[in-house]
A and B are shown apart, each in its own frame.
Chain A
Amino acid sequence: MTERNEEYFKQFIGYEFGPDKYRVKGKNLSAYSAAIGDKNPKFYVEKTEGEEKPDYSNIVAHPAYAATYTIPGLLMQLTEVKDKDGNKLVKNIGKLLHTSQEYDYDGCDPLTPADKKVYTVGKIVNLFLKKDKLWVELLFTSTNADKTKTFCRTTVKGLLRKGGF
């Protein structure tokens, strides 16, 4: 088996994976905003007593909402990244520690319930060994199905502890 050294891991830089599909629902956008304490009517619909179905059609996703449609699904897809011999990059996802994320919305479209689905693709931007850990930088791009709208570009950094790679 090939030694898993710095040189070995370089082959994964530029590797693309996904897409991960995420279903957008107005009530979820609203519930998320409420969960972080933001009841701005741009993001949140107050449910009134006796109302059958609140109208969520006029809200947009909160800027923090990208946490739901990018990070969990794509980090799981990272477990399917393989080298040319079919060996998995990630041996134990439980050893992954998510250390930072950045959402870039410049030039992006707001995500609304009418968009229905978000498609996110991931790319390994950087990968290096330091202090017995494998440091990973990933770029996720979230769009609609035909890529005419971009909702967010997310950079996620993390590390895999010993036994995870």
Chain B
Amino acid sequence: MVEVGTHILKTDGPVTREMIKKYASASGDRNPIHINDEFAEKVGLNGVIAHGMLSFGFGAHHLNDFAEELNGQLINLGCEMRGMVRPGDTILTHITVKAINDNILEIEMIQNSKMPLKLEKAGERIETYEGLERGWVSEKEQDLIKTEETENGTLTYREALVNKGWAKIRI
């Protein structure tokens, strides 16, 4: 039963350079900022970034699955691109039903990227991730750094908004 407030959380990734290359090849968008680290560094990006349409594609996949579960049809989808996704990031897609008008569900889709920075156990660092090594967390993102306990230790990560999206499903 779907109602206003119904919420789904889906996870994709971690995004790898291989996934970005496959998206570049499948979409035809071979802009070197996505596939060539050296080029991306030259243009001031400090390494490659994933296509905005890759993370949006993950979201479109989950929106379509949600529509099919309801025997409905995805008739509209869009997003504003708000942030960059880097190799190593995990994409969290939050899908929430905001309104139901006649047979149309109005959906909000929020996508955050979770960038791992370091993993510690008993006060010792056991892994340092690319995000920390290359300084991918900007000054203004410092307050987005959080920690969580995992089975492998304490993970420090940065979670930031990458896409603010919406959709309509006809049921």
Contact = CB atoms under 8 A, between A and B. Distances in A.
Interface of A: 28, 31-32, 34-38, 40, 62-64, 67-68, 71-72, 98-106, 155, 157
Residue among B53, B79, B168 facing the most chain A CB atoms (10 A cut-off): B53
B27 A106 contact: no
Residue among B52, B60, B68 facing the most chain A CB atoms (10 A cut-off): B60
Interface of B: 12, 19, 22-23, 25-29, 52-54, 56-58, 60-61, 63-65, 68, 73-81, 166, 168, 170
B53 A67 contact: yes
Contacts, number: 91
Contacts of B166: 102
Nearest to B13: A37
28 contacts: A28-B26, A35-B19, A35-B25, A35-B27, A36-B57, A40-B65, A62-B57, A62-B60, A62-B64, A63-B63, A63-B64, A63-B77, A64-B60, A64-B61, A67-B53, A67-B56, A68-B26, A68-B27, A68-B28, A68-B29, A72-B29, A100-B81, A102-B78, A103-B77, A105-B73, A105-B74, A105-B75, A106-B168
Contacts of A67: 27, 53, 56-57
